[in-house]
């Protein structure tokens, strides 16, 4: 199913009602975008995604998509018959994804502004979930992994990278509960597979 990014409305913040925390958050987001832009010059998103085994027609979730670098790269890999859900808690991330998708004429990216671990996606509807440098920020990582287990099809891929965590922590946290098992360790990512019937 191909869904236009323009079909999902953007929730706008009223500038007059912004709190200081929201303003700081906006500044933090813009600084993060600058840092990620530099990272993308040295390590292009496609190089990272080559380890995720994304195929034409796949449904992919870019969890904590930020400005959308991986979402756009994944949209090219899944092609017109696939789709990419770009999910983030920050409204500026959704604006960035919408803008970049429009500029590159990608109609298979669906931005999702989330306020909790509930993605709103259907059970077993995804082939691949990308979790890059966001897991360490989660308040409830166990609940998030339960949600990933719910929306990922049996045998689906959880492509994981977080340079803020040690390898032992990544392996123990993701495989806890036996929903996911390590399939392979790449140069830049860990590939976990969802166990069948979990």
Q: What is the pLDDT along the chain (198 residues), one digit of tens a residue?
A: 444 444 443 433 333 334 434 444 888 777 877 777 777 778 899 999 999 999 999 999 999 999 999 999 999 999 999 999 999 988 999 999 999 999 999 999 999 998 878 899 999 999 999 999 899 988 889 999 999 999 999 999 999 999 899 999 999 999 998 899 999 999 999 999 999 865
How much is the pLDDT for 14?
36
Q: Tell whether pTM > 0.85.
A: no
Please state, in angstroms and rounded to a whole number, the distance separating the CA atoms of residues 154 and 197: 7
pLDDT of residue 6: 40
Q: Which residue has the tokens 């869904």?
A: 3
> With helix as H, strand as E and coil as C, how does the chain read?
CCCCHHHCCCCCCCHHHCCHHHHHHHHHHHHHHHHHHHHHHHCCHHHHHHHHCCCCCCEEEEECCCCCHHHHHHHHHHCCCCEEEEEECCHHHHHHHHHHHHHCCCCCEEEEECCCCCCCCCCCCEEEEEEECCHHHCCCHHHHHHHHHHHEEEEEEEEEECCCCCHHHHHHHHHCCCCEEEEEECCCCEEEEECCCC
Looking at residue 10, what is its pLDDT? Answer: 41
Report residue 17 as tokens. 């009602």
Please report the pLDDT score of residue 31 as a whole number. 81
The pLDDT of residue 1 is 41
Domains in the chain, please, with CATH?
19-194 (3.40.50.150)
The confidence score (pLDDT) of residue 33 equals 72
Q: Are 196 and 154 in contact (CB under 8 A)?
A: yes
What's residue 198's pLDDT?
59
d(CA 195, CA 192): 9
Q: What does the block give as tokens for 103?
A: 């500029």
């Amino acid at each position: 199913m191909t869904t236009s990014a323009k079909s999902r409305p953007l929730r706008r913040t009223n500038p007059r009602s912004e709190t200081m925390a929201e303003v700081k958050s906006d500044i933090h987001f813009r600084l993060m975008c600058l840092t990620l832009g530099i990272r993308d010059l040295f390590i292009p998103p496609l190089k990272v995604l080559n380890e995720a085994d994304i195929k034409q027609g796949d449904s992919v979730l870019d969890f904590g998509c930020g400005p959308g670098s991986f979402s756009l790269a994944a949209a090219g890999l899944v092609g017109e018959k696939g789709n990419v859900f770009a999910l983030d808690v920050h409204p500026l991330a959704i604006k960035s994804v919408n803008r970049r998708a429009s500029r590159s004429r990608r109609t298979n990216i669906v931005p999702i502004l989330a306020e909790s671990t509930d993605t709103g996606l259907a059970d077993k509807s995804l082939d691949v979930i990308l979790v890059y440098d966001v897991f360490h920020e989660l308040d409830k990582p166990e609940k998030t992994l339960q949600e990933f287990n719910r929306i990922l099809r049996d045998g689906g891929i959880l492509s994981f990278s977080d340079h803020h965590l040690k390898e032992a922590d990544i392996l123990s946290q993701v495989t806890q509960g036996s929903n996911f098992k390590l399939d392979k360790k790449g140069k830049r990512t860990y590939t976990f597979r969802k166990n069948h019937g979990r």
